């Protein structure tokens, strides 16, 4: 079966309290973006929920990806979900996973936190970074405008791509190529469409209180569908041109 890419993403704005009292989590297939092709979950807090000791992020990903195990998928997630335990268990179930990382998360090697603090210093230039391997996972710490940490159970250590950045010196701006870990390069490539979809979703925010909660839910799904299709139609048009 050909490798396909899946992006699971939680918009930062949805972490904030919502007047509608709804918390939705989407698991979207990047190639065919549609609510019909997406798995989603409505989080209801602790009402009727039995959580594992690994936390909400772990439980959400394992639940939404249960029909995608051992099928050659690659999963891209953000730091709300990413943890060493999650990536280890997904790897055991045949799912390659890459995600941005909160270095204070349980199980993350102390050296990763040290490296992120080190490369956050302004004395390091764009493109600086380091790798750490721990079991089946590779951690990459890389400095661009800010320093970011990413972990993956898919990408090999020291695999790199290049990115173009504006370099301003002496009042003159020039284009400059800098090295980018393949982990981060691919993460940005696959999550870009999901981020754009979330941006469009915010323009038509329908999270309003209603006596009938299903009305709010209906319009959330409708706007999500429209914003997602708009994002990917634009992407395909740009690729063809």
pLDDT one-digit tens code per residue, 65-116: 877 788 878 888 888 889 999 999 999 988 889 989 999 999 999 999 999 9
Every domain of the chain and the residues it spans: 4-240
**Span 145-202, pLDDT tens digits:** 889 999 999 877 777 788 888 877 777 788 888 888 888 888 888 776 555 555 555 6
Q: Which of 12-16, 51-55, 75-79, 175-179 shows the lowest mean pLDDT across its residues?
A: 12-16
pTM for this model (two decimals):
0.70
Between CA 223 and CA 225 the distance in angstroms is: 5
SS3 string, 130-186, reads EEEEECCEEEEEEECCCEEEEEECCCCCCCEEEEEEEEEECCEEEEEEEEEEHHHHH
Residue 54 is given by DSSP the state T
Give 12's contacts (C-beta < 8 A, 6+ positions apart): none
């Amino acid at each position: 079966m050909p490798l396909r890419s899946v992006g699971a993403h939680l918009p930062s704005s949805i972490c904030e309290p919502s007047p509608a009292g709804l918390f939705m989590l989407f698991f979207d297939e990047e190639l065919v973006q549609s609510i019909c092709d997406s798995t989603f979950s409505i989080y209801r807090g602790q009402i009727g929920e039995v959580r594992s000791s690994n936390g909400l992020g772990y439980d959400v990903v394992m639940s939404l990806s249960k029909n995608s195990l051992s099928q050659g998928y690659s999963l891209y997630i953000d730091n709300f979900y990413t943890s060493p335990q999650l990536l280890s268990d997904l790897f055991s179930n045949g799912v390659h996973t890459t995600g941005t990382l909160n270095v204070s998360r349980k199980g993350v090697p102390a050296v990763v936190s040290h490296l992120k603090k080190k490369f956050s210093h302004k004395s390091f230039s764009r493109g600086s970074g380091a790798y750490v391997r721990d079991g089946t996972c590779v951690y990459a710490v890389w400095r661009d405008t800010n320093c970011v940490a990413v972990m993956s159970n898919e990408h090999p250590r020291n695999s790199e791509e290049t990115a173009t950045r504006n370099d301003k010196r002496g009042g003159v701006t020039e284009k400059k190529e800098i090295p980018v870990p393949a982990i981060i390069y691919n993460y940005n490539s696959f999550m870009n469409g999901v981020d754009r979809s979330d941006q469009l979703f915010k323009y038509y925010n329908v999270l309003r209180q209603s006596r009938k909660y299903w009305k709010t839910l209906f319009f959330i799904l409708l706007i999500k569908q429209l914003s997602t299709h708009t994002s990917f139609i634009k992407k395909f048009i740009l690729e063809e041109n």
